[in-house]
């Protein structure tokens, strides 16, 4: 079986739940083809550098996949039919990176900093 990183951009008009449902659909197709999905990351609604099919934003998702090439070909065929999908990119890799992507790692660090700041600010307000 081959290892892939698969990134999907979907239209801005759909909701986050519909984007997650698209990820579940992709996961189901891969599992039907005899593969497995090691990681799914939903990156959220992000601005595009330039318009793609008249859209300025897109929902991004990253999947780490272990499946036969035929299963990935079927996923790509299904995505080409789906009107909600703007673009996708599939890259074959030597090994799957199961850590958080740099984008999500940065978000997590920012959340931790925010959690650390909040108690200090509350303590300063109580002292006054």
**Cα–Cα distance for residue pair 36/108, rounded to 1 Å:** 26
pLDDT band at 39 (very low <50, low <70, confident <90, very high): very high
Burial class (CB in 10 A: 0-12, 13-18, 19+), 3: middle
Cα 15 to the center of its chain, rounded Å? 14
Task: Spell out the domains of the chain, with CATH numbers in brackets.
Answer: 2-116 (3.30.70.60)
- The tokens describing 13, both together, are 């008009």
**Cα–Cα distance for residue pair 26/12, rounded to 1 Å:** 19
- Tell me the pLDDT tens digit for each residue of 44-70: 999 999 999 999 999 999 999 999 999
Give me the pLDDT at residue 100, please.
81
Q: How large is the average pLDDT for residues 11-19?
A: 93
pTM of structure: 0.80
pLDDT band at 125 (very low <50, low <70, confident <90, very high): low
């Amino acid at each position: 079986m081959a290892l892939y990183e698969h990134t999907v951009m979907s239209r801005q008009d759909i909701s986050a739940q519909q984007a997650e449902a698209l990820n579940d659909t992709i996961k189901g197709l891969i599992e039907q083809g005899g593969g497995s999905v090691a990681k799914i990351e939903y990156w959220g609604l992000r601005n595009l550098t330039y318009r793609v099919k008249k859209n300025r934003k897109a929902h991004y998702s990253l999947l780490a996949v272990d499946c036969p090439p035929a299963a990935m070909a079927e996923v790509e065929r299904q995505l080409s039919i789906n009107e909600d999908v703007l673009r996708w990119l599939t890259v074959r890799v030597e090994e799957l990176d199961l850590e958080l992507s740099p984008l999500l790692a940065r978000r997590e660090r920012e959340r931790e900093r925010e959690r650390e700041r909040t108690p200090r600010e509350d303590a300063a307000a109580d002292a006054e």
